[in-house]
Amino acid sequence: MKNNQRGLFIVLEGLDKCGKSTQTDLLCEALEAKKMQFPDRSTSMGMIISDYLKGKRDIDDQVIHLLFSANRWETKNKIIETLEKGINIVCDRYAYSGVAFSSAKGLSINWCKQCDSGLPKPDIVIYLRAPIKQLKDRGDFGAERYEKQEFQSKVQEVFDKMAQEEQFNIINALQTKEEVFSSIMELVNDYNQNIHTNTIEQLWI
C-alpha cells in the first residue's frame, strides 16, 4: 500500500480443494505478508472445530457456526494490530466461508452474517472459483465433514451469490497454479495503483 499506510488485508475464499492454501502461501511470500487461516485450529476453540470437521464429535449447526465465528473474533485484535504496523495479511478463508458453509446447511444468510458483523473488512476478496465436479478429484477430498459433492455445490451457489453482492474478484481455479498466481498478482497490483483510505472498515454493519 502507498504512503506508508497500513498493511493490506487480502482474503482468499472458495470451495474445498480450490487451491486457496497454495495460493495463500505464494502470496504471503510475494507480499512478505503474515499468513492467517480460518478456522485457526491452534486455539482451544479451533481444536473443537477441528474435531467437528474430522467427524470426531457432532455439534448443533448454530453452535458450530458461533464457534467458527468466535474463532475469527478471537483474532480480531491481532488482525488490526498487524495491519496498523503496516504488515500485509493474506488470509485463507474468513467470514464469507462462514456464510457459505453454514447457510448451505439451511441457516439464514442474515443470521450467519450478523455473527461476524463488525470484524475487520478485507481490502480484497479473491474467490478461486471452480465447479466441485472438477475439484473433487484433487488431493484427499472427502476426508472432512463438508467434503461431499452435493453439499459443496450448495456452498458454491452461496459463494456465487455473495460474489456479486460483495464484489469478490473471481479467478478461475482450474488454471495452472502459476496462472492462478499471476491473476492474483495482477489484481493486487491493480489495487495498489489506486489511492485507498487508511481506515480499517468493518464487515457487514
The cell for 63 is: 453452535
| Nearest residue to ligand DGP, scored by beta-carbon proximity | 98
Among residues 146, 151, 191, 204, the one that binds ligand DGP under rule CB under 6 A? 146
CB nearer ligand DGP, residue 68 or residue 181: 68
169: contact with ligand DGP by CB under 6 A: no
98 is a site residue for ligand DGP (CB under 6 A): yes
Residue with smaller CB distance to ligand DGP, 9 or 101:
101
Interacting residues of 72 by C-beta distance below 8 A, sequence separation 6+ = 38, 94, 95, 98, 116, 119
113 binds ligand DGP (CB under 6 A): no
Q: Are 149 and 94 in contact (CB under 8 A)?
A: no
d(CA 28, CA 168): 19
Residue 68 binding ligand DGP, by CB under 6 A: yes
Q: Is the peptide bond before 131 cis (omega within 30 degrees of 0)?
A: no
d(CA 174, CA 9): 24
Q: Does 159 bind ligand DGP (CB under 6 A)?
A: no
Pick 61 or 190: Cβ nearer ligand DGP: 61
DSSP H helices in the chain: 20-31, 44-53, 61-73, 76-84, 95-103, 109-116, 132-135, 149-165, 177-193
- 97 lies in the site for ligand DGP, by CB under 6 A: yes
* Shortest Cβ 97–ligand DGP spacing (Å): 4
Total of residues contacting ligand DGP (CB under 6 A): 14
Q: Up-side HSE of residue 1: CA atoms within 13 Å toward CB?
A: 22
Question: Which residues in this chain contact ligand DGP in the complex, by CB under 6 A?
Answer: 16, 38-39, 53, 64-65, 68, 93, 97-98, 101-102, 144, 146
